[in-house]
Amino acid sequence: MAEEMSGIPEHEEFRTGARQWLRTVARPRAADGEWGSGSDSVAVFENWTEEQEREHTARVQEWERIRYDQGWSALTWEESYGGRGLPAYYEQLYRAEEAAFDVPQRPEIFPVTQALVAPAIAIWGTEEQKRRWLRPMLRTDELACQLFSETEAGSDLAAVRTRAVRDGDDWVLTGHKVWTSGARVATWGVAVCRTDPDVRKHAGITVFLVRMDAPGVTVRPIRQMTGGSSFNEVYLDGVTVPDTDRLGPVGEGWRVTLSVLAAERLDSGSLGLDNADRALDLAAHLPRPLTGGEQQRAADLHIRTLVQRLIGLRVTAALVAGREPGAEASVGKLYATETMRRTSDLVSELLGPSLVADTGEWGTYAWTEHLLGAPGYSIAGGTDEIQRTILAERVLGLPKEPAR
């Protein structure tokens, strides 16, 4: 009732509207047919060449522009940014509908741009920056990657050594970033830099948006164990960045960084669910009876998927109540990476040798891409150990780790 009065559609009305719209622009997923036909990809990170990455990115951008232009993206954003001013959980309502349709799978750079970087700009950006960056990022005309980690600054991110030195109206950036997902297709890199080496490490940091095509930026792909290169090294050799591309105040970059990292945890809760469901389908379609052990593992995985979805609902409930879902988000990320691990265990047991020898049979060897990709998510976005530390300190109130 209150929602009706405020011009916010009822949930069912919204979901029906989303479904009807999706039918006009996408094919229902069920149309892919029976088990054993259609794509058997369960890749966690794609094995793309640079050309394939560019092609796929362009396809997803095309889809994202349709969504944005027709009012089904940026749902929670103000109208002035092309949004509809809906509460945060409407995004989840939309996603639940979209899952039933065959739409392009969004590689990491898309959620990074729309759900991590754009909200940080909304919090920390000047009015001019918001006008300049938000629409193109929400519409994905411009994509943004995270230039956070360095070889000596991962879990201990505040130890970054990439220097930014003031030069009149500009800054000059010099350093080396690593593990940058999507750097090959990004327009912008959000760089966490040291602007004052003489103060406490968290106080000497400032964040800049760097054009990835600026002179002095070099991107070198890193070969992952999946065979692909979804992440890269990025060298910044005397890159000039105008002060108007600084995000947040000088020396306040740690708080800007934390805004991005919190959004990253929030975005991770549904990781691995699709592949867990697919593994359970595999168990149901195996051309032999399951052993007792396999049944146990399958039942356990089924329970996990239910619990993970419930954790997702708790995150939604926190958002509905207007609370920042801090602890729920860390639990969600940690739980998701364990689901991915258990999915690997079940599939390994079910498929045995046909997992490691490519016989061309549908839905067998393809699982290597899950097995080799899944461990990456126990590291990306804050390792499992770091999530546990957050829970221990912030939820359980245990004594803090000694400061480094």
Ligand X SMILES: Cc1cc2nc3c(=O)[nH]c(=O)nc-3n(C[C@H](O)[C@H](O)[C@H](O)COP(=O)(O)OP(=O)(O)OC[C@H]3O[C@@H](n4cnc5c(N)ncnc54)[C@H](O)[C@@H]3O)c2cc1C
308 binds ligand X (CB under 6 A): no
CB atoms within 10 A of CB 132: 17
Shortest distance, position 11 Cβ to ligand X, whole Å: 34
Interface with ligand X (CB under 6 A), residue from 66, 280, 379, 392: 379
Shortest distance, position 391 Cβ to ligand X, whole Å: 12
257 binds ligand X (CB under 6 A): no
Q: What is the DSSP letter of 9?
A: P
Interface with ligand X (CB under 6 A), residue from 181, 343, 344, 364: 181
Angstrom distances, CA of residue 377 to CA of 140, 144, 273? 24, 20, 13
Binding positions for ligand X, 50-109, rule CB under 6 A: none
Taking the CA atoms of 148, 153, 154 and 157 in sequence, report the sign of the dihedral they define. Answer: negative
φ/ψ (deg, to 5) at 90: -65, -25
Binding region for ligand X (CB under 6 A) out of 16-24, 118-126, 166-174, 385-393? 385-393
**CB-wise, 83 or 373, nearer to ligand X?**
373
**CB-wise, 97 or 150, nearer to ligand X?**
150
330 binds ligand X (CB under 6 A): no
**CB-wise, 92 or 105, nearer to ligand X?**
105
Binding positions for ligand X, 127-146, rule CB under 6 A: 145-146
Interface with ligand X (CB under 6 A), residue from 282, 380, 387, 390: 380
**CB-wise, 81 or 231, nearer to ligand X?**
231
Which residues are within 8 A (CB) of 11 and not within 5 positions of it... i.e. 6 or more apart?
A: 93
**CB-wise, 354 or 389, nearer to ligand X?**
389
Q: b/e for 220-246, b at 16 or more Cβ within 10 A?
A: ebeebebebbbbbbbebeebebeeebb
φ/ψ (deg, to 5) at 37: -125, 170
Distance of alpha carbon 321 from the chain centroid = 24
Q: How large is the C-alpha radius of gyration of the chain?
A: 22
Chain contacts with ligand X (rule: CB under 6 A): 145-146, 148-149, 154-155, 179-181, 231, 376, 379-380, 382-383, 385-386, 389, 401
